[in-house]
Amino acid sequence: MLFHSFTFLALLIPTLAIYWLSRSQTIRLAALFVASMIFYAFHHWPSAFLLLGTIGLNYSAARLQQRRRSRWLLALIVIIDLSLLFWFKYAAFAAAELKRAAALVGLALPLPALSNWLPLGISFFTFQVIAYQVDVYRGTVGAERSLLVFAVFKSFFAQLIAGPIVRAKEFLPQLHKRARFDPEQFHLGLFLFVAGLALKIGVADVLRQFADEAFQSPAELATTDAWLNLYAFAFQLFADFWGYSTMARGLGKLFGLELPLNFNLPYLSSSLQEFWRRWHITLSSWFRDYVYIPLGGNRSKHTRNLLVAMTAAGIWHGAGWTFVLWGLLHGLWLVIESALKRRFASPLTTASPLRGTAAAALRRLLLFHGVCLLWVLFRAPSLPVASTYYARLLLPPYRGHSDVPETLAIWLIGFALLQAPLARVMERDRFFPRSAWAQAAITWLLLALTLGYAGQRYDFIYFAF
């Protein structure tokens, strides 16, 4: 079920009504849980059993952990959770690669063909429960006593499929407290939902057509088209995931629940480190807290830790060498950036004649283009396609194309300029001081964009991860 569908509205409205009309927190949570299971099972009902199974397993393991703190128990439950993720997401890829490697040395491995069943959101909810198990082990949070509360924590539909990856410490207390209807929270929730919808339908899905076409046959692209379509993908990906996260936050607010911010204008970052603090914030902080820091962080073997964490982040996004390489290159870039930072304290502001605003703008521009170049690996279906795309971007023959589609040009420029004002208007402190007329006018601008470009419904990109 997609957020941008009437089917979802038909589920949301009665759930909201039951939630706010009920005085019992148990009924409220039960309503949320049932709605979440319907939401999840609607796409592929057998996956719901997997979700229920992992809820039961992780609930019991955490309760055990609470009673008898055990490193082995933690290792066991993490291995089970990761095994499920591996089986559903990576086993087919690993088997195919194994077969290929064996064939190179003349062996024919009799591996069975594996199913392509990838339960929606498995990467997100697996990471959510691993964080929970580690937190319980560390004593940062207590193991949840109520199975219903734990089930809602793990399955709440707003964040189930594509995040944000909610931490137990932030979310469980909210589920325990019976929220009073807060009109202001509801008000902002409605607006955020509309804004996310517009980002998805009016921006991401419009840019999608250009990016999809370009990556289908990159060999024929003119140099200018290759770059423009890469920008289209960069903005599509951002608008798609930012839109989803914004809708998720809006939905949370409609139920009086606060979900964390997942994007904070990442393309306006001036270093890669800053970029990862602004892009998919809950995933980046997950890798920081549960991979990078436990490995030693910047205290020991900093380079190795960064490379491992970023390569793991790459693999998390998908089963394929393109993702591995994408993560590894991000890791390398972070290592180089960190070394440069230590060697020259902010070189562009102190040593360079380009100081202040100009230097910041240049750094942002360079960062954006660097990130775009790595998006090629993220989007390309295979390494050969990625290398063809890189050739069209960087190598001769340099061909220009004067006939740039009007929509592409306007959307790229428009989104580049309007992303910051749009992010600002979504902030509580900036939204509420506006008059009802201004709020409604902005809402209708976003709704008009959504209505105008509403047509075929596309999945959110991160559903695939």
191 and 443 Cβ atoms separated by less than 8 Å = yes
Out of 107, 340, 451, 464, the residue judged to bind other proteins by CB under 8 A: 451
Contact region for other proteins (CB under 8 A) — 67-75, 330-338, 361-369, 406-414? 406-414
359 vs 166: CA distance, rounded Å: 36
Q: Does 440 bind other proteins (CB under 8 A)?
A: yes
Q: Which is nearer to other proteins, 12 or 151 (CB)?
A: 12
Contact region for other proteins (CB under 8 A) — 21-29, 105-113, 212-220, 428-436? 428-436
Q: Is 43 a catalytic residue?
A: no
Cα–Cα nearest to 362, from 350, 349, 375:
349
Beta carbon of residue 428, minimum distance to other proteins (angstroms, whole number): 12
CA distances 229 to 216, 238, 301, 392, 405, Å, are 11, 14, 39, 11, 11
87 vs 126: CA distance, rounded Å: 12
DSSP secondary structure of 181-212 = P-HHHHHHHHHHHHHHHIIIIIIIHHHHHHHH
367 vs 463: CA distance, rounded Å: 26
Beta carbon of residue 184, minimum distance to other proteins (angstroms, whole number): 4
Q: CB neighbours of 231 closer than 8 A, spacing ≥ 6?
A: 372, 412
Cα–Cα nearest to 65, from 169, 166, 142:
142
Q: CB neighbours of 19 closer than 8 A, spacing ≥ 6?
A: 28, 31, 32, 255
Beta carbon of residue 243, minimum distance to other proteins (angstroms, whole number): 18
Q: Which is nearer to other proteins, 7 or 216 (CB)?
A: 7
Q: Which is nearer to other proteins, 69 or 434 (CB)?
A: 434
Positions in 153-182 near other proteins (CB under 8 A): 182
Q: Does 186 bind other proteins (CB under 8 A)?
A: yes
Q: Which is nearer to other proteins, 86 or 453 (CB)?
A: 453
Q: Does 433 bind other proteins (CB under 8 A)?
A: yes
- Amino acid in position 240: D
Beta carbon of residue 403, minimum distance to other proteins (angstroms, whole number): 10
Q: Does 381 bind other proteins (CB under 8 A)?
A: no
Q: Does 236 bind other proteins (CB under 8 A)?
A: no
Where b means 16+ CB within 10 Å and e means fewer, 343-363 reads eeeeebeeeeeeeeeebeeeb
Task: State the sign of the Cα–Cα–Cα–Cα dihedral 213, 216, 222, 225.
Answer: positive
150 vs 391: CA distance, rounded Å: 50
Contact region for other proteins (CB under 8 A) — 13-21, 95-103, 163-171, 440-448? 440-448
Q: Does 432 bind other proteins (CB under 8 A)?
A: yes
Contact region for other proteins (CB under 8 A) — 43-51, 216-224, 294-302, 427-435? 427-435
Q: Does 436 bind other proteins (CB under 8 A)?
A: yes
Q: Does 344 bind other proteins (CB under 8 A)?
A: no
Q: Does 10 bind other proteins (CB under 8 A)?
A: yes
- Name the catalytic one among 4, 280, 302, 317: 317
Q: How far apart are the first and last CA of the chain?
A: 16
Calculate the dihedral angle through the C-alpha atoms of 64, 65, 68, 69, rounding to the nearest 10 degrees: 170
Beta carbon of residue 434, minimum distance to other proteins (angstroms, whole number): 6
Q: Does 142 bind other proteins (CB under 8 A)?
A: no
Residues binding other proteins (CB under 8 A) = 5-7, 10, 182-184, 186-187, 190, 406-407, 410, 432-437, 439-441, 443-444, 447-449, 451-454, 457
Active-site residue numbers?
Answer: 317
